[in-house]
Chains A and B, each alone.
Chain A
Amino acid sequence: KNQVEQSPQSLIILEGKNCTLQCNYTVSPFSNLRWYKQDTGRGPVSLTIMTFSENTKSNGRYTATLDADTKQSSLHITASQLSDSASYICVVSARGGADGLTFGKGTHLIIQP
């Protein structure tokens, strides 16, 4: 069964600090992995998307890494800001099939001033 596990479930850090969110998946055959940011009461917004051959991708202060061998990904946030407070969802796409997306439950990040 395709699964995506994220850790930690929630995280509180002080403004200006860095943090790293983890994603482990068992999705096969793998197509790509995406990180989304979801503000409370809003839809998810794409941060990064990585295919099998990519092992890192940046979007401003967000840097995602992918290890396709160990089936792990991380999202690193640098110099956190209050606006980074949100849920971060890891989504893995399988090749073929219909929807083909497996969602993690997300990490709820709170940035404190």
Chain B
Amino acid sequence: DTGVSQDPRHKITKRGQNVTFRCDPISEHNRLYWYRQTLGQGPEFLTYFQNEAQLEKSRLLSDRFSAERPKGSFSTLEIQRTEQGDSAMYLCASSSYGTGVDGYTFGSGTRLTVV
């Protein structure tokens, strides 16, 4: 296992279009997190899953955002009707919660540019 993988690395889209990002966590990790990071800021929490259950969503996650983790493995984050303010780095992280080993690990992120 080579860590947390995110795809694509970069995405340029026109305003109003829908985009979908994918995250493949470390295989034995049961928790998966999505963050958004803008330039010069730390990551901001969006949502997280424990196995396939989405346990918490931030107020930052508007109705245009939806995340899924259907089989408790990979996850997708979809943004509908993108706006210029959605331009950011979208980071995924995974961890082993409840097993005594943290191993909180980030992926390399997906850089979204809305033009």
Contacts and interface: CB of A to CB of B under 8 A. Distances in A.
B107 A43 contact: yes
Q: Majority SS of interface residues in chain B?
A: strand
Interface residues of B, number: 23
A101 B91 CA distance: 14
Contacts, number: 46
Contacts of A76: none
Among B91, B104, B108, the one with the most A-chain Cβ atoms within 10 Å of its Cβ is B104
B42 A43 contact: no
Interface residues of A, number: 21
Contacts of A4: 42
Nearest to A103: B42
B106 A103 contact: no
Contacts of B89: 41
Contacts of A34: 104
Interface in A14-39: 32, 34, 36
A87 to B, nearest CB: 9
A4 B41 CA distance: 12
B69 to A, nearest CB: 15
A45 interface: yes
B55 A98 contact: yes
Interface of B: 4, 6, 33, 40-45, 48, 55-56, 89, 91, 93, 102, 104-109, 111
